[in-house]
Amino acid sequence: MSIGFRVLPIQRRVPADLVKRAAELPVANVSDAMNRMFAGGASLRPMHGGGILAGPAITVKARPGDNLMLHRALDIAEPGDVIVVDGGGDLTNALIGELMVAYAESRGLAGIVIFGAIRDASAIRAGTFPVFAAGITHRGPYKDGPGEVNVPIAIDGMVVHPGDLILGDEDGLVVVGIDEAEAVYAKAAAKHAAETEQMAKIRRGENPRAWVAETLKRLGCEGI
């Protein structure tokens, strides 16, 4: 066994029907359904022109500035997968550019997440293929390895296992574990329905605010 330089098979993926349903929910509602504890960090932002990221994770642990194992992940991923790369958050060298994004899109992948930098930002921004990253630089990558594919990784404290559900929108990224995904979806869907109804009430002028003063009184706030 070559720890630190290996490609492992993925054992299972979050079901495709659940991916489709979850893609219809705001990431904020999914985050709330998990007590706001599983964010990918504020540095990971959408670099593409717009569109939802949703799919099972193919994970890559890369040496900062090196994208050899990312290339291998692109070759073995299946349509609908999301490549999620722990590049250590390093912004010195870009790990992907427009050519790799075009290849990923041609293979039917659902998106790419880079805890690191990209380049060719203008071209990526002009497209709708989902790309999330921590920064931009014109300096290209090396291709020497080592690295690992389909191992647990951590992105700014967010642990991702191969096959986990990855969701991303303009608010950022969240991961949902395979075994919890159905329960989290149900809770997030209920939250979304409640917020949709609340928005309708606000627009109708029905928005009771007594809870604010009541909460301040309960907490001992002076002057209420």
Q: Which residues are annotated as part of the binding site for Mg(2+)?
A: 120
Is residue 146 exposed (0-12), middle (13-18) or buried (19+ Cβ within 10 Å)?
A: middle
Which residues are annotated as part of the binding site for substrate? 97-100, 119
The answer to whether 160 touches 84, Cβ cutoff 8 Å, is yes
Q: How far apart are CA 117 and CA 91, in angstroms?
A: 5
Q: How far apart are CA 199 and CA 16, in angstroms?
A: 30
Number of Cβ within a 10 Å radius of residue 126:
11
The answer to whether 141 touches 81, Cβ cutoff 8 Å, is no
Element (H, E) at 53: strand 53-62
Which residues are annotated as part of the binding site? 97-100, 119-120
